[in-house]
Amino acid sequence: MEDAASAPACWASSQVRFEIAMARTASRLWTREEVIKALSLYCVLPFGRFHKGNPDVLALAKDLARTPSSISLKLCNFASFDPHHKARGVAGMGNASKLDREVWNDFYGCWNVLAQALPAENRDEKETGHKLNVPEGPTTQERLLQVRRGQRFFRKAVLSAYADRCCITGIADCTLLRASHIVPWAKSVKNRLNPCNGLCLNALHDAALDGGLLTLDENLRVVLSPRLPRKMPKPVFEEYFHRYSGQDIQRPERFLPDGDCLHIHRTTLFLSD
């Protein structure tokens, strides 16, 4: 058994090994696959949450065997390419690499690829996406896993874009919030995981959107179906729906609702009579 005198030496030796390992990690070049994973994480985190203490940053650092600081810097670098942040005058860190730019140009908007690249959670999450019919057979489990990853990516991207608040009511309890599809999952394969096909809504208004009882106009103002007041007592309609009629939604930090998706919802799903 080691005596007390030898303990500091052992600690110092361990510390040196740790520092050498971190130095090697810091000098290791990023691979294309690693940058894609970082871009995936960038899409689901608000700009102000790229810090090295964020649990999602820590999870990716562990997954890639890199330091949390290196992940944080990589996320900040992507802001220099993001048109939304450019419009806000956010320049990013200014030291993005050629590979960073290539991955951004090749994969930003490839939502299915980014969804599958998103690191696994440290904890289990409730699946709150739409019920799906997954084909049976030997690939069922793999497809189910891909669907769940896609749902998780879509939910995290949409909710973070709206700062975890319902864009109509401002409700901020995540147990009551949904990442609502403007064009339903079953009606548009290309937009299933597109955050611009999403709205952050509370469960009641999510159901109303899905049922065609609520939509948004070209200026992102709430439009109600004339059927709504016929389906509930007047006080309920006044409190939960009429008060929001014509109101502007809270604009997202990014992933502004797609105009074509809203047009499809208004013209094919909304109950206008």
- C-alpha–C-alpha distance, residues 74 and 42, integer Å: 9
Beta bridge partners of residue 180, listed in sequence order: 199
pLDDT tens sequence across 65-99: 999 999 999 999 998 898 877 776 665 556 789 99
- Cα-based angle 35, 65, 159 (whole degrees, multiple of 5): 55
Per-residue pLDDT of the chain (273 residues; tens, 9 = 90+): 445 444 444 444 554 444 444 445 556 999 999 999 999 999 999 888 899 999 999 999 999 999 999 999 999 999 889 887 777 666 555 678 999 999 999 999 999 999 999 987 644 344 444 444 444 555 677 788 888 899 999 999 999 999 999 999 999 999 999 999 999 999 999 999 999 999 999 999 999 999 999 999 999 999 999 999 999 999 999 999 999 999 999 999 999 999 999 999 999 999 999
Token code pair at residue 177: 């919030």
**Do 81 and 92 meet the contact criterion of CB atoms below 8 Å apart?**
yes
- CA distances to 38, 81, 84 from 105, rounded to whole Å, are 14, 9, 15
- C-alpha–C-alpha distance, residues 30 and 28, integer Å: 6
> Is the pTM of the predicted complex or chain greater than 0.85?
no
End-to-end CA distance of the chain: 83
Q: How many helices (H) and strands (E) does the chain have?
A: 11, 4
